[in-house]
Amino acid sequence: MRILVVGGAGYIGSHVTKSLLEAGYQPVVVDNLQTGKAENLLPGVPFVHADLRIPETLQGALGGCEGLVHLAALKAAGNSMTEPEKYANHNISGTIQLLNAATESGVNYVIFSSTAAVYGNPQYIPMDEEHPTKPSNFYGYTKLAIEELLGWYAQLKGVRFASLRYFNAAGYDVDGRIKGLESEPNNLLPIVMEAVINKRPFVEVFGTDYDTPDGSCIRDYIHVNDLADGHVRALEYLTRETDNPILNLGTSNGMSVLEILEHSKNLSRTNFDVRFGPKRPGDPAVVLAKASKAKSLLGWEAKRSDPKTLINSMLNVYGATHKITRKR
């Protein structure tokens, strides 16, 4: 089956493309390369330089595709609160253009890259798919709006879809085939890696007085290879079942910021500088997924999301292009 991967040169998209290829699918990557990396493109996988907001650039790529994995989005939560029109145009309007082009081309299956940000601040832990959806930033709202759009396209156009609500994606391909580093990362582990390779002078910890065992925030970190496997299993599910599932992808096991820093220092054998600042407004103390529904429906569970695998897979990539000064 031919599958269009929109955003397939990005961090998560490139790992999804690899998993699709290994599962016997024929992925076709579409990316505008604004944040995606050319070095993430896999040999033998067709690539089309296109923009989902310009549907005519997608027509050739969509030909013969039965499925679509939609990962293209602006994702900086803070920036979405200062430039909402930019996020509405790219994430919501762009998705409408993409869905219109896809349905006209005969695409039957859509796997959507959603986010735990649709839930907003946790009302209970762990968060299941029935948790109220009250996004606390405009980025989360755009993802929720797209989930609702997909519901209407399923009803009116007969499109089958699965919406995958990611928690904290981290790590790099355990086989070492994907090596494109993120530019200007916003997430903790890439920031830590930049400190490990001396690209960043320090790592700042925002808040040490949360109601957690060590006072720092706890998050649910999921290895990107596990995340990619979830997309393949969701696609397989759509081809044999009749419902349109919304599923959490996470581990249900959290690590605190300070635990991540300790693991990173120990595994890298470095001693990067850490500084402490005040809490950021809106940061909840704990965010954890309940992912039992994905296990029940897809037979999926995280297998590579332990701290050692997560961090070592990142060290392998960052250390391949930058010198790591290790402590003696």
Name the architecture of domain 188-219+252-321.
Alpha-Beta Complex (3.90)
Burial zone of 233 (CB within 10 Å; 0-12 exposed, 13-18 middle, 19+ buried): buried
Return per-residue pLDDT of the chain as tens, 328 residues: 999 999 999 999 999 999 999 999 999 999 999 999 999 999 999 999 999 888 888 888 999 999 999 999 999 888 899 999 999 999 999 999 999 999 999 999 999 999 999 999 999 999 999 999 999 999 999 999 999 999 999 999 999 999 999 999 999 999 999 989 887 888 999 999 999 999 999 999 999 999 999 999 999 999 999 999 999 999 999 999 999 999 999 999 999 999 999 999 999 999 999 999 999 888 899 999 999 999 999 999 999 999 999 999 999 999 987 878 776 4
Give the per-residue pLDDT at 311: 97
25 is catalytic: no
Give the per-residue pLDDT at 60: 85
Give the per-residue pLDDT at 185: 85
Give the per-residue pLDDT at 325: 78
CB of 167 within 8 A of CB of 227?
no
pTM higher than 0.85 for the full model? yes
Bridge partners (DSSP) listed for residue 29: 5, 47
Distance CA 228, CA 214 (A): 31
Residue 281's identity, in one-letter code, is P
Distance CA 282, CA 29 (A): 35
Give the per-residue pLDDT at 327: 67
Choose among 75, 1, 23, 2: nearest CA to 225. 23
3-state SS assignment for residue 277? strand
Distance CA 249, CA 289 (A): 7
CB of 92 within 8 A of CB of 28?
no
Residue extents of the structural domains in the chain: 2-170+221-249, 188-219+252-321
Give the per-residue pLDDT at 5: 98
Give the per-residue pLDDT at 105: 94
Distance CA 190, CA 171 (A): 9
Q: Which of 11, 109, 119, 139 is catalytic?
A: 139
The CATH number of domain 2-170+221-249 is 3.40.50.1110: no
3-state SS assignment for residue 70? strand
Distance CA 213, CA 197 (A): 29
CA 115, 316, 322 angle in degrees (round to 5)?
A: 105
